[in-house]
Amino acid sequence: MKLYGGMRQVLRTFSAAMILAATAAQAQVAAPTPPMGWNPYNAFDLNYGEAELMAQAELLVASGLARLGYDHVNIDDGWWLRRARDTIEVRTGIYPSAALPDGTTSLRPFVDRLHTMGLKAGIYTDIGRNTCSQRWRPHTPNLPVGTVGQREVGTYGHHAQDAALLFVRWGFDFIKVDACGVGDYGPDVPEVKNGTFRAFPPLIVREQPARSNAAELARQYASFADAVRRAAQGRTPLVSICAWGQADVNDWARRYGQMSRTSFDIAPTWEAMLFNFDSAASRALFAGPGHWNDPDMLEVGNGAFDGEHLVAARAHMSLWAVLAAPLILGNDLRRMTPGIAAIIGNRDVIAVDQDAAGNQGVVISRAGAGEVLAKALSTTGHKAVALVNRGKASLTLAVDLADLGLSSTAPTTLRDLWSGASRRVSNGRISVELAPQETVLLKVEGRPAEDDVDQPADLPARFDVADEGYKAPDRTPARQWVLAQIGFRPDGQPLMRDGAQDHAGLGVTAGSRLRIDLAGRYDRVSLDPRTLGKATGPFTIRVDGRTLVEGVASQQPHPVVLHVRGAQQLELIAPPPASGNTQFAWHDVRFVRRATSRS
């Protein structure tokens, strides 16, 4: 193993035993691709029950949508009557099959019916004592009843009990875990003051992550996830964390759930859809098999995305697909137009979302109303590219193949996944005319810019932001501070290197630690560590747990080449915050594949 670079270098060798240990078999991954299904909330709010759910389930099967992957039918808020001893009683007025002959209630008959149809069943709870509907829908008829304690139907203090009830006794496959119970029941809430609810000191202070108790919130979700794992041994039920991007949840949620909401609830408007899209778009390094960014359920078929607005509906579907977001339908399938059915049933677009590599699309450029994202697909040199017009006027949008990490001279074809039209790329550039609110989603088939070389945008699913590093105190979901990005700094500005945006670079926070799964695929890794401020700072590079390089970075070029044949994991540890340096760059990162790994 050799190292090259103009800094103090520490050479280490690693043993064959360590390599073998690193390649030990991994546990089964839950949600290896983004979950798909249907949820009633966007279409029905809380005005639904078993009849509406089963009608939608039957349409998922009859329409063929279930065969395309939309196989989860998820109950949302409003199913419970009261907490009682070792169970939660079901509101049998809207779930009649839950009324058992012995006078008890169970959702097992509902779940069994879905399973018989070849579908999966999802349920809803809250990580706190009380729920969102109790706080924000006080006049809905489907609220829990009884004493203060009986109305505490959330899972706080009942993790093991509820996990056994929902996943063993009732057999659910999926659970959405909301967070109003730990954010909206503080001592100053009128319904707390008058004794309707018990106070819960907030773990989430909305839009103020620096004042939230992220550590305790993470501990609660970790405890519940562990209870689910223990209760459902031999199964892999999915946990959907719904803390709306608050309390830095998206920086740690991957450890405890298979999907995590990056924003507040979506609404059927163009502006709301873009806000939710933006909340996830910069977080490609936080998503991958078993842990997906969730910008919320689809609004395709509703409001500004209904059958009269098919251009916007296709844009919405395209953006969720290129993000590798969960595709959870939120429209009433009974009232779906043929145009909407064609959008949610587009096999090519679904295939982009469900691509086995598990990469989220990476933002390539933002300029005015135009935005370009590219998602690396399983086949080397193949990418899904979304060219987005966010505005209300037509525009021409272009992207160079080189910025996509593709050769500008090799034969390259593209296919529009909505129109089906195909063409060759000329002059190394893709250019499209976009109508207002239009997104063109292309499958581009070419060759990498460098043979046998991967860039970070080719493998974002292999990254893990292990240590979070510095966090801007004024960060919010609307004004993001993303701990690690490809081609951009944590503050959202383009990552520049020698006068040009570095699409192969990683902009990270000071003090962060990135882990990259090499999986024995690479011979060499090259990179150029630099500070993004005037002060110098020490950095460390480790391979398979052994320190290989300790250096001091500055704003000057400092290229490093690592020979890593057979290595399983690379760690990049940025300098700690110092003298105003809060951001750091791992510039021009390239992974050179081994001959046996080339495809």
DSSP readout, 221-258? HHHHHHHHHHHTTT---EEEE--TT-TTHHHHGGGT-S
**Maximum separation of any 2 CA atoms in the chain, in Å:** 78
Hey, what are 579's tokens?
């003298």
- Name the amino acid, one letter, at 137: R
372-376 LR contacts (CB < 8 Å, sep 24+): 372/397, 372/399, 372/403, 373/281, 373/319, 373/322, 373/323, 374/322, 374/399, 374/404, 374/405, 374/444, 374/457, 375/322, 375/324, 376/457, 376/458, 376/459, 376/460
313-344 burial code (b ≥16 CB/10 A, e <16): bbbbbbbbbbbbbbbbbbbbbeebeeebbebb
Is 265 annotated in the active site? yes
Helices and strands in the chain, H and E counts = 13, 32
- Name the amino acid, one letter, at 520: G
Whole-angstrom Cα distance, residue 579 to residue 587?
21
Q: Tens of pLDDT along 89-128?
A: 999 999 999 999 999 999 999 999 999 999 999 999 999 9
Q: What is the pLDDT of residue 456?
A: 98
CB 310 within 8 A of CB 267: no
Whole-angstrom Cα distance, residue 174 to residue 178?
13
Lowest-confidence pick of 16-30, 133-147, 244-258, 310-324: 16-30
Which position has the higher pLDDT, 265 or 2?
265
Q: Tens of pLDDT along 535-546?
A: 899 999 999 999
What is the pLDDT averaged over residues 354-372? 98
Half-sphere exposure for 494 (CA within 13 Å, toward CB): 13
Q: At what angle do helices 310-322 and 270-281 cross, to 10 degrees?
A: 10
Band (pLDDT 50/70/90 cuts) for residue 480 is confident
CB 331 within 8 A of CB 359: no
Q: What is the mean pLDDT of the chain?
A: 93
Q: Which residues contact 260 (CB under 8 A, 6 or more apart)?
A: 240, 241, 242, 243, 249, 250, 253, 254, 291, 292, 293, 294
Q: What is the pLDDT of residue 394?
A: 98
Lowest-confidence pick of 1-5, 39-43, 300-304, 371-375: 1-5
Q: Which residues contact 546 (CB under 8 A, 6 or more apart)?
A: 12, 13, 14, 18
Band (pLDDT 50/70/90 cuts) for residue 28 is low
CB 589 within 8 A of CB 514: no
Domain range annotation of the chain = 3-26+454-597, 75-261, 362-449
Residue that the structure tokens 């009986």 belong to: 150
Hey, what are 209's tokens?
């992550």
Helix, strand or coil, per DSSP, at residue 279? helix
Residue 442 pairs with which residues in a beta bridge?
385, 416
Q: Where are the beta strands (DSSP E) in 264-361?
A: 292-294, 327-329
Q: What is the pLDDT of residue 13?
A: 27
Q: What is the pLDDT of residue 23?
A: 26
Q: What is the pLDDT of residue 16?
A: 29
Helix, strand or coil, per DSSP, at residue 430? strand
- In terms of DSSP bridges, do strands 506-509 and 484-486 run parallel, antiparallel, or are they unpaired? antiparallel
160-183 burial code (b ≥16 CB/10 A, e <16): ebbbbbbbeebbbbbbbbbbbbbb
71, 178, 332, 544: the catalytic one is 178
Q: Which CATH architecture has domain 3-26+454-597?
A: Sandwich (2.60)
Residue 233 pairs with which residues in a beta bridge?
none
What's 362-449's CATH class? mainly beta
CA angle, residues 311, 64, 171, in degrees to nearest 5: 110
What's domain 75-261's superfamily in CATH? Aldolase class I (3.20.20.70)
Is 306 annotated in the active site? no
Q: Tens of pLDDT along 156-196?
A: 999 999 999 999 999 999 999 999 999 999 999 999 999 99
226, 265, 452, 523: the catalytic one is 265
Q: What is the pLDDT of residue 578?
A: 81
Q: Which residues contact 196 (CB under 8 A, 6 or more apart)?
A: 148
Q: What is the pLDDT of residue 9?
A: 31
CB 245 within 8 A of CB 443: no
CB 417 within 8 A of CB 463: no
Hey, what are 262's tokens?
């990056």
